[in-house]
């Protein structure tokens, strides 16, 4: 894993009541001792209406919070959207961009996602750019071409100086919420291609500093084998992030790869 500290993200999606969200957060904070947090970053992505309360709960804990999405615009007449500065105001340090439930589910194009990346970074947020191929694209042998195109178009205009703000999440669409995960070898091979492409777009040293997470049906029983791959720097977790014990086990799996 080179010198990259692993990162585990919990994407709560559109789940949980306010009380359940507070309960989940408290259970996570109880389980995340300083020893774990010294070895593994943890970021939570709660639904927008809960960000303030989760920000209050996590303040000073070492656990960071982020938006599940961000507007491509700085402010103005964009009903229903949330700006990067609003996310910062409620305590977010990062945002997801291009999760497949927005890229594929809502038809967000690479150019819209690129605008989101640039606006978020300009405002001072870290960005987790999600990329991934559909099942059809995988079966027709286009996975790598599709993922690298998403990567290159998503990062247009991002300067080498801003790479410190960037995390990539490789999330094959066919693995999200399906119980079907990529094999550790499949994940490693795509992560390696992503890192090599970042090396070409920027330089190899900078590419080696970027964390590339795997997402898609990561569970306590498959996490360690995936995270043990040299170019896999942790995971973006959906379903299993809603169960505190499962999520904590996944964080421990990431720490185990550092300790081993």
Residues forming contacts to ligand PGA in the complex (CB under 6 A) are 11, 171, 176-177, 215-218, 236-240
Supply the minimum distance, in Å, between the C-beta of residue 105 and ligand PGA.
11
Alpha-carbon span 191 to 197, nearest angstrom: 10
Under 8 Å between Cβ of 122 and 93:
no
Cβ-based nearer residue to ligand PGA, 149 or 243: 243
Query: What would the two tokens of residue 248 be?
Result: 């904590």
Cα 91 to Cα 95: distance, rounded to the nearest angstrom:
11
* Closer Cβ to ligand PGA, 190 or 202, answer by number: 190
* 202/218 with CB nearer ligand PGA: 218
As measured in angstroms, the least distance from the Cβ of 178 to ligand PGA is 7
Query: Smallest gap, in angstroms, from Cβ of residue 95 to ligand PGA?
Result: 14
- Position of minimal CB gap to ligand PGA: 238
Query: Could you list the active site residues?
Result: 99, 171
Closest distance of CB 229 from ligand PGA, Å: 17
Residue with Cβ nearer ligand PGA (11 or 95): 11
């Amino acid at each position: 894993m080179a010198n990259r500290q692993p990162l585990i993200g919990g994407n709560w999606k559109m789940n949980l009541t306010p009380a359940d969200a507070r309960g989940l957060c408290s259970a996570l904070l109880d389980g995340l001792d300083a020893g774990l947090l010294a070895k593994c970053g943890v970021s939570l992505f709660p639904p927008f209406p809960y960000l303030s309360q989760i920000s209050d709960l996590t303040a000073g804990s070492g656990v960071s919070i982020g938006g599940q999405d961000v507007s491509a615009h700085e402010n103005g007449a964009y009903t229903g959207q949330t700006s990067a500065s609003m996310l910062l105001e409620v305590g977010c340090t990062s945002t997801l961009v291009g999760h497949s439930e927005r890229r594929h589910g809502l038809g967000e194009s690479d150019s819209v996602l690129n605008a989101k990346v640039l606006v978020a970074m300009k405002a001072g947020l870290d960005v987790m750019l999600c990329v991934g191929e559909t099942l059809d694209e995988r079966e027709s042998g286009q996975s790598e071409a599709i993922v690298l195109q998403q990567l290159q178009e998503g990062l247009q205009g991002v300067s080498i100086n801003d790479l410190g703000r960037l995390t990539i999440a490789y999330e094959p669409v066919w693995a999200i919420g399906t119980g079907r995960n990529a094999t550790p070898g499949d994940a490693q091979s795509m992560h390696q291609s992503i890192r090599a492409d970042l090396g070409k777009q920027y330089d190899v040293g900078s590419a080696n500093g970027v964390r590339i997470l795997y997402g898609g049906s990561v569970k306590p029983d498959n996490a360690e084998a995936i995270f043990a791959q040299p170019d896999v720097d942790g995971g973006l977790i959906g379903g299993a992030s809603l169960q505190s014990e499962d999520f904590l086990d996944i964080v421990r799996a990431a720490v185990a790869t550092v300790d081993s």
